[in-house]
Amino acid sequence: MKMTKYDVMPFKNKNDYLWAVFELATEQVIETFFFEEDATALAKTLDRGHGFAGWTPAFLLTKVAVKEDINQRFSDLVLS
């Protein structure tokens, strides 16, 4: 299957080689993976219409630093 909205590309990040799912229309990296198969699987899923159909808003891709892991805090409260 030829993808039309996404491309899977290798790149080097420090000492690691990673695979990026690149959205062609917005020229954004959607996600990175250590394995090409994982990146290809996501790209195919997105290319079939999941997500934003090739137009992912940039703010959704912004990584946010958090002071506390809310999931861990929730688990501590619920399971204690």
DSSP state string for 19-39: EEEEETTTTEEEEEESSHHHH
Q: Decide which of 73 and 4 is more confident.
A: 4
Helix (H) or strand (E) holding 77: helix 70-79
Per-residue confidence band for 69, with pLDDT thresholds at 50, 70 and 90: confident
Q: Per-residue pLDDT tens for 16-64?
A: 899 999 999 889 999 999 999 999 999 999 998 888 877 887 877 776 6
**Cβ-proximal residues to 28 (8 Å cutoff; 6+ apart), any chain:** 22, 56, 58, 61
Domain-wise residue ranges, the chain: 6-79
